[in-house]
Amino acid sequence: MKISLENVWEIRYHWNKHLGNSRLDQEDIAIKELKLIGYLKGLSVVELSNIGTRRNPLGLQRTAKEANVNIIMGCGYYIEEFLSPQTREESIEEMAKRIITDIVRGVDGSDVRSGIIGEIGCSYPWTEMEKRAMRAALIAQEETGATISIHPGRHFGAPYDIIQFIKEAGGDPARTIMGHLDRTIFDKDSLSRLADTGCALEYDFLELTPPTILFKRSIFRMTGPV
Protein backbone atom coordinates (compact mmCIF):
# COMPACT_ATOMS: atom_id res chain seq x y z
CA MET A 1 0.00 0.00 0.00
CA LYS A 2 1.06 3.58 -0.52
CA ILE A 3 2.19 5.53 2.52
CA SER A 4 -0.28 8.26 3.52
CA LEU A 5 -1.14 10.33 6.57
CA GLU A 6 -3.78 7.75 7.43
CA ASN A 7 -1.40 4.79 7.63
CA VAL A 8 2.09 6.21 8.22
CA TRP A 9 1.98 5.63 12.00
CA GLU A 10 0.90 2.02 11.54
CA ILE A 11 3.64 1.35 9.00
CA ARG A 12 6.37 2.98 11.09
CA TYR A 13 5.54 1.08 14.27
CA HIS A 14 4.49 -2.21 12.69
CA TRP A 15 6.77 -2.17 9.67
CA ASN A 16 7.13 -5.95 9.44
CA LYS A 17 3.38 -6.37 8.90
CA HIS A 18 3.55 -4.32 5.70
CA LEU A 19 5.48 -6.32 3.12
CA GLY A 20 5.84 -3.43 0.70
CA ASN A 21 7.71 -1.50 3.39
CA SER A 22 10.32 -4.28 3.60
CA ARG A 23 11.43 -4.20 -0.03
CA LEU A 24 14.84 -2.70 -0.76
CA ASP A 25 14.92 -3.06 -4.53
CA GLN A 26 15.47 0.48 -5.83
CA GLU A 27 19.06 0.52 -7.07
CA ASP A 28 19.10 4.25 -7.75
CA ILE A 29 18.33 5.02 -4.11
CA ALA A 30 20.87 2.45 -2.89
CA ILE A 31 23.55 4.00 -5.10
CA LYS A 32 22.75 7.48 -3.83
CA GLU A 33 22.99 6.37 -0.18
CA LEU A 34 26.13 4.30 -0.68
CA LYS A 35 27.88 7.26 -2.28
CA LEU A 36 27.48 9.03 1.07
CA ILE A 37 29.50 6.23 2.67
CA GLY A 38 32.29 6.82 0.16
CA TYR A 39 32.10 10.55 0.84
CA LEU A 40 32.67 9.80 4.53
CA LYS A 41 35.70 7.65 3.62
CA GLY A 42 33.89 4.36 4.13
CA LEU A 43 35.25 1.55 1.98
CA SER A 44 32.93 -1.44 2.37
CA VAL A 45 29.41 -2.54 3.26
CA VAL A 46 28.53 -6.05 4.43
CA GLU A 47 25.15 -6.96 2.91
CA LEU A 48 23.72 -10.00 4.70
CA SER A 49 20.72 -10.88 2.56
CA ASN A 50 20.82 -14.63 1.95
CA ILE A 51 18.62 -17.62 1.12
CA GLY A 52 15.16 -16.65 2.31
CA THR A 53 15.58 -12.90 1.86
CA ARG A 54 15.84 -12.63 -1.95
CA ARG A 55 19.44 -11.73 -2.68
CA ASN A 56 20.14 -9.88 -5.89
CA PRO A 57 23.82 -10.56 -6.70
CA LEU A 58 23.85 -8.76 -10.05
CA GLY A 59 22.02 -5.80 -8.53
CA LEU A 60 24.58 -5.62 -5.74
CA GLN A 61 27.37 -5.80 -8.31
CA ARG A 62 25.89 -2.91 -10.30
CA THR A 63 25.28 -0.88 -7.15
CA ALA A 64 28.83 -1.39 -5.86
CA LYS A 65 30.30 -0.35 -9.20
CA GLU A 66 28.18 2.79 -9.52
CA ALA A 67 28.70 3.86 -5.91
CA ASN A 68 32.41 2.91 -5.90
CA VAL A 69 31.98 1.07 -2.60
CA ASN A 70 32.85 -2.56 -1.90
CA ILE A 71 29.81 -4.71 -1.10
CA ILE A 72 30.46 -8.03 0.66
CA MET A 73 27.50 -10.31 -0.03
CA GLY A 74 26.23 -12.90 2.42
CA CYS A 75 25.09 -16.49 1.92
CA GLY A 76 23.58 -19.31 3.94
CA TYR A 77 20.08 -19.65 5.36
CA TYR A 78 17.84 -17.19 7.21
CA ILE A 79 15.28 -18.21 9.85
CA GLU A 80 13.01 -21.14 8.99
CA GLU A 81 9.90 -18.96 8.78
CA PHE A 82 11.35 -17.23 5.70
CA LEU A 83 12.27 -20.40 3.81
CA SER A 84 10.27 -22.34 1.24
CA PRO A 85 9.01 -25.86 2.07
CA GLN A 86 11.50 -27.29 -0.45
CA THR A 87 14.41 -25.45 1.14
CA ARG A 88 13.42 -26.64 4.61
CA GLU A 89 13.79 -30.25 3.44
CA GLU A 90 17.40 -29.88 2.27
CA SER A 91 19.97 -32.05 4.02
CA ILE A 92 23.00 -30.67 5.83
CA GLU A 93 25.20 -31.82 2.95
CA GLU A 94 22.99 -30.10 0.36
CA MET A 95 22.96 -26.85 2.33
CA ALA A 96 26.72 -26.92 2.87
CA LYS A 97 27.33 -27.52 -0.84
CA ARG A 98 25.08 -24.58 -1.71
CA ILE A 99 26.90 -22.24 0.67
CA ILE A 100 30.33 -23.33 -0.56
CA THR A 101 29.25 -22.85 -4.19
CA ASP A 102 28.08 -19.31 -3.39
CA ILE A 103 31.52 -18.51 -2.00
CA VAL A 104 33.87 -20.22 -4.46
CA ARG A 105 31.87 -20.02 -7.72
CA GLY A 106 28.98 -17.58 -7.55
CA VAL A 107 25.36 -17.14 -6.50
CA ASP A 108 22.46 -18.46 -8.59
CA GLY A 109 24.59 -19.20 -11.62
CA SER A 110 26.26 -15.78 -11.66
CA ASP A 111 29.96 -15.08 -11.17
CA VAL A 112 29.20 -12.85 -8.16
CA ARG A 113 30.60 -14.62 -5.11
CA SER A 114 29.69 -14.27 -1.45
CA GLY A 115 32.38 -13.09 0.96
CA ILE A 116 30.76 -13.95 4.28
CA ILE A 117 28.39 -16.64 5.58
CA GLY A 118 25.30 -15.07 7.05
CA GLU A 119 23.38 -13.89 8.53
CA ILE A 120 22.52 -17.40 9.69
CA GLY A 121 19.01 -17.20 11.10
CA CYS A 122 18.25 -18.65 14.53
CA SER A 123 14.77 -18.36 16.01
CA TYR A 124 13.94 -18.80 19.68
CA PRO A 125 13.29 -21.58 20.42
CA TRP A 126 15.91 -22.72 17.92
CA THR A 127 14.35 -25.06 15.35
CA GLU A 128 15.88 -28.34 14.21
CA MET A 129 15.98 -27.11 10.62
CA GLU A 130 17.92 -24.01 11.70
CA LYS A 131 20.38 -26.21 13.60
CA ARG A 132 20.96 -28.16 10.37
CA ALA A 133 21.57 -24.89 8.57
CA MET A 134 24.11 -23.90 11.22
CA ARG A 135 25.94 -27.21 10.86
CA ALA A 136 26.01 -26.63 7.10
CA ALA A 137 27.44 -23.15 7.68
CA LEU A 138 30.16 -24.59 9.91
CA ILE A 139 31.09 -27.16 7.26
CA ALA A 140 31.32 -24.34 4.72
CA GLN A 141 33.40 -22.27 7.14
CA GLU A 142 35.89 -25.10 7.54
CA GLU A 143 36.04 -25.56 3.77
CA THR A 144 36.41 -21.88 2.82
CA GLY A 145 37.67 -20.09 5.94
CA ALA A 146 34.81 -17.57 5.71
CA THR A 147 33.48 -15.75 8.74
CA ILE A 148 29.96 -16.59 9.96
CA SER A 149 27.53 -13.84 11.01
CA ILE A 150 24.64 -14.96 13.22
CA HIS A 151 21.13 -13.68 13.82
CA PRO A 152 20.35 -15.05 17.32
CA GLY A 153 16.85 -15.57 18.62
CA ARG A 154 15.48 -12.73 20.73
CA HIS A 155 16.22 -14.28 24.11
CA PHE A 156 18.95 -13.62 26.67
CA GLY A 157 20.30 -17.16 26.51
CA ALA A 158 20.23 -17.59 22.74
CA PRO A 159 23.75 -16.25 21.94
CA TYR A 160 25.35 -18.48 24.59
CA ASP A 161 23.46 -21.56 23.36
CA ILE A 162 24.59 -20.88 19.80
CA ILE A 163 28.25 -20.38 20.71
CA GLN A 164 28.21 -23.59 22.73
CA PHE A 165 26.70 -25.38 19.74
CA ILE A 166 29.43 -23.97 17.47
CA LYS A 167 32.20 -25.07 19.84
CA GLU A 168 30.80 -28.60 20.16
CA ALA A 169 30.48 -28.85 16.37
CA GLY A 170 34.12 -27.86 15.88
CA GLY A 171 33.45 -24.34 14.62
CA ASP A 172 35.68 -21.33 15.21
CA PRO A 173 34.26 -18.70 17.61
CA ALA A 174 37.04 -16.31 16.54
CA ARG A 175 35.54 -16.34 13.01
CA THR A 176 32.01 -15.82 14.34
CA ILE A 177 30.02 -12.59 14.67
CA MET A 178 27.09 -12.60 17.09
CA GLY A 179 24.61 -10.01 15.91
CA HIS A 180 21.82 -7.82 17.28
CA LEU A 181 23.19 -7.83 20.83
CA ASP A 182 21.72 -4.45 21.68
CA ARG A 183 18.28 -6.12 21.60
CA THR A 184 19.34 -9.34 23.36
CA ILE A 185 21.82 -8.82 26.24
CA PHE A 186 21.63 -5.76 28.43
CA ASP A 187 24.32 -5.92 31.10
CA LYS A 188 28.08 -5.55 30.86
CA ASP A 189 29.01 -8.70 32.78
CA SER A 190 26.98 -10.89 30.45
CA LEU A 191 28.45 -9.18 27.39
CA SER A 192 31.95 -9.69 28.76
CA ARG A 193 31.20 -13.38 29.31
CA LEU A 194 30.07 -13.68 25.68
CA ALA A 195 33.15 -11.79 24.46
CA ASP A 196 35.34 -14.20 26.42
CA THR A 197 34.13 -17.06 24.21
CA GLY A 198 36.13 -15.46 21.41
CA CYS A 199 33.29 -14.30 19.15
CA ALA A 200 32.91 -10.75 17.86
CA LEU A 201 30.02 -8.69 19.22
CA GLU A 202 27.79 -6.83 16.75
CA TYR A 203 25.46 -3.96 17.52
CA ASP A 204 22.72 -2.59 15.28
CA PHE A 205 22.88 0.84 16.90
CA LEU A 206 25.87 2.49 18.57
CA GLU A 207 25.96 5.51 20.84
CA LEU A 208 29.28 7.09 19.88
CA THR A 209 29.49 9.64 22.71
CA PRO A 210 31.03 9.11 25.15
CA PRO A 211 33.35 6.56 23.54
CA THR A 212 33.89 3.20 25.22
CA ILE A 213 36.63 0.60 24.84
CA LEU A 214 35.05 -1.97 27.15
CA PHE A 215 34.67 -4.59 24.41
CA LYS A 216 37.62 -3.61 22.29
CA ARG A 217 39.14 -7.07 22.49
CA SER A 218 36.08 -8.57 20.80
CA ILE A 219 34.59 -5.93 18.53
CA PHE A 220 37.87 -5.09 16.86
CA ARG A 221 39.25 -8.61 16.64
CA MET A 222 38.03 -9.01 13.05
CA THR A 223 41.00 -7.70 11.07
CA GLY A 224 41.79 -8.27 7.43
CA PRO A 225 39.38 -9.78 4.90
CA VAL A 226 36.18 -11.21 6.36
Smallest CA-to-CA distance from 139 within 179, 112, 172, 115 is with 172
Smallest CA-to-CA distance from 160 within 184, 131, 127 is with 184
Q: How far apart are CA 168 and CA 176, in angstroms?
A: 14
Q: How far apart are CA 174 and CA 169, in angstroms?
A: 14
Q: Is the peptide bond before 27 cis (omega within 30 degrees of 0)?
A: no
Q: Which domains does the chain have, with CATH numbers?
A: 75-219 (3.20.20.140)
- pLDDT tens readout for residues 58-116: 999 999 999 999 999 999 999 999 999 999 999 999 999 999 999 999 999 999 999 99
Q: Is the peptide bond before 85 cis (omega within 30 degrees of 0)?
A: no
- pLDDT tens readout for residues 174-214: 999 999 999 899 999 999 999 999 999 999 887 655 544 44
